[in-house]
Amino acid sequence: MIAQEQIPTVLDHPVYDQEGRKIGDAKHVFVDDVTGRPEWVTVKTGMFGTNESFVPIKDASLVDDHLEVPYPKDRIKGAPHVDIDGGGHLDASEEQRLYEYYGIAWDEAWQRANQPGDGGWAHGTAGTAGAAGAAGLTDRGRGDLGAEDMGTARTGRSVGDDAMTRSEEQMHVGIERVETGHVRLRKYIVTEDVQQTVPVRHEEVRVEREPITEANREQALSGPEIAEAEHEVILHEERPVVETKAVPVERVRLRTDEVTDEETVSGRIRKERIEVEGDETGIARDRDERDAM
| Residue 205 forms part of a structural domain | no
pTM: 0.40
Number of domains in the chain: 1
Regarding beta strands 66-68 and 14-16, do their DSSP bridges make them parallel or antiparallel, or are they unpaired?
A: parallel
Q: Is the pLDDT of residue 1 over 90?
A: no
Residue 247 CB neighbour total at 10 angstroms: 4
Average the pLDDT over 95-117 and give the result.
70
| Residue 142 forms part of a structural domain | yes
Query: What is the C-alpha to C-alpha distance for residues 19 and 250, in angstroms, rounded to an integer?
Result: 46
Lowest-pLDDT range of 12-21, 144-153, 160-169, 178-187: 144-153
| Residue 150 forms part of a structural domain | yes
**What SS3 state is found at 186?**
coil
pLDDT of residue 38: 86
pLDDT of residue 232: 92
Regarding beta strands 51-56 and 61-63, do their DSSP bridges make them parallel or antiparallel, or are they unpaired?
A: unpaired
Q: Is the pLDDT of residue 234 over 90?
A: yes
Q: Is the pLDDT of residue 256 over 80?
A: yes
For the domain that residue 136 is a member of, what is the CATH number?
3.90.50.10
pLDDT band at 204 (very low <50, low <70, confident <90, very high): very high
| Residue 22 forms part of a structural domain | yes
Most confident of 46-55, 160-169, 225-234: 225-234
| Residue 111 forms part of a structural domain | yes
pLDDT top residue among 114 and 182: 182
| Residue 283 forms part of a structural domain | no
Average the pLDDT over 201-230 and give the result.
88
Q: Which domain holds residue 38?
A: 4-176
Average the pLDDT over 115-140 and give the result.
33
